[in-house]
Structure 1
Amino acid sequence: MDPAVSWTTGHPAMKILYEDNHLLGIEKPVNIPTQEDASGDPDLLNLLKVDIKERFNKPGNVYLGLVHRLDRPVGGAMIFAKTSKAASRLSDAVRTRKFAKSYVAVVHGQPPQQRGRLIDTLLKDERTNTVSVVAKGTPGSKEAILDYHVLGVSAEHGLSLVQIELHTGRPHQIRVQMNQLGCPLYGDQKYGAHINKPGQQIALWSLYVGFPHPVTKEPVDLVSSPPSQFPWDLWDSRTYSQIAENLVSSSSM
């Protein structure tokens, strides 16, 4: 298996985390949309279809199912389905919460507790592509639930490293809920513009994705560590590998 997908469109090579006849797991680069959007920029889904077609010399259209999404500025572990059957079964895993997603984020300030659960009601404005916290029962709103765990604090920079487990998959969920908590994500221009500087890269990374294989039922674990640059490098790289090891270990129990 090739360790990376090399684009012919000028994008950097992309690391392949897992691949077989049913699945393709990759490390999403930052600032590429997951699927086609209003910007018209090349998107991950279509770039991967082109790559599969070229690597395997496939005739006609290539099927690739989108199972979950990452916001455009967010990078890290992501899984795609190479067959409609795999896509359907992974969608079932998402619905029945057998599909685990764990993120790391660097946030401003320090959450009030070392560990906590956030439950909010979110409403998306499709016109502005923004999400807000609203009163429960607001038409069109959906409940959002996440757990967070503070892993470290950099008092010098006023930043905290947080691990986040999603129990629902709402648009911009982590960004909105952490901002509502009073701890906006470092670099988030949409929900932390009052404290972040233009040009800063959002510090949110998909560290781990785990689920039962749609055919073999064996556990599949995708792990991706954030880049060794500020603010991620305020903490030792072993911090991220240790979190991932714990997640993989717990998934096999």
Structure 2
Amino acid sequence: MYHLSSKTPLHILYEDTQIIVCVKPPGIATQTRSTGAPDMVRLLKQHLYQINPASGEPYLAVIHRLDQPVSGLLVFAKTPAAARELNRQLQNPDKTSFGKYYCALVEGPPSKTFRHPGKLYVPGSPHQHFQNMRSRRKKCKTCPIRV
């Protein structure tokens, strides 16, 4: 186990010569342009460099991102060929490809309709749900939740 800081462990669930799968804790960015802020790319590159310092700066491709406040699994490619294949799988999913799946854990329903950046809680339907109001394709994406 490697450490993001003295308080936050870096959990690598799977690693081989092509990919790394890790848990991104809440509060850490997947990737940032700030030079001083910790992010998963920088921390994983440090991990890879510690394993093999003779190879120089490691290659690490971001396959998908998670917002900074949330936690979840991230997949990174360690080679350009792995990056191409993983991106192909995300763009053209089939029964053997990997994909993105979201799960939210909430405790009880809000008492009134509330807004969260980009999301609207809509009570009163058989399946209370969040609607993503900022879709690139200008369509609302709905994620059913159970309360």
Same fold (TM > 0.5): yes
- Alignment match of 2:127 (pick from 100, 111, 114): 114
What SS does the corresponding residue of 2:100 show, helix, strand or coil? strand
**Once the two structures are superposed, what CA deviation does each residue of 1:98-136 show, in whole Å capped at 9, x if it has no partner?**
4422222227534623287957563xxxxxxxxxxxxxx
- Alignment match of 1:6 (pick from 3, 24, 37): 3
Aligned partners of 1:67, 1:40: CA distance in 2, in Å?
23
Higher RCO, Cα 8 Å, sep 6+? 1
Moved over 6 A (4+): none
Aligned partners of 2:139, 2:64: CA distance in 1, in Å?
16
**Normalized per residue, which structure has more strand?**
1
Taking only aligned residues, the RMSD between alpha carbons, in angstroms, comes to 2.8
Shift of the alpha carbon at 1:72?
Answer: 0.7
Any stretches of 5+ residues in structure 1 without a counterpart? 123-140, 154-253
How many residues align structurally?
130
Shift of the alpha carbon at 1:37?
Answer: 3.3
- Asked if 1:46 is matched to 2:45, the reply is no
Write the letter of the residue equivalent to 1:29: P
Aligned partners of 2:56, 2:45: CA distance in 1, in Å?
11
- Cα 1:145/1:52, change in 2 over 3 Å: farther
**Once the two structures are superposed, what CA deviation does each residue of 1:125-168 show, in whole Å capped at 9, x if it has no partner?**
xxxxxxxxxxxxxxxx53456452323x2xxxxxxxxxxxxxxx
Aligned partners of 1:47, 1:100: CA distance in 2, in Å?
24
- Cα 1:80/1:145, change in 2 over 3 Å: farther
1:65 aligned residue: 61
Any stretches of 5+ residues in structure 2 without a counterpart? 111-122
Aligned partners of 1:39, 1:112: CA distance in 2, in Å?
46
1:102 aligned residue: 101
- TM-score normalised by L of structure 2: 0.72
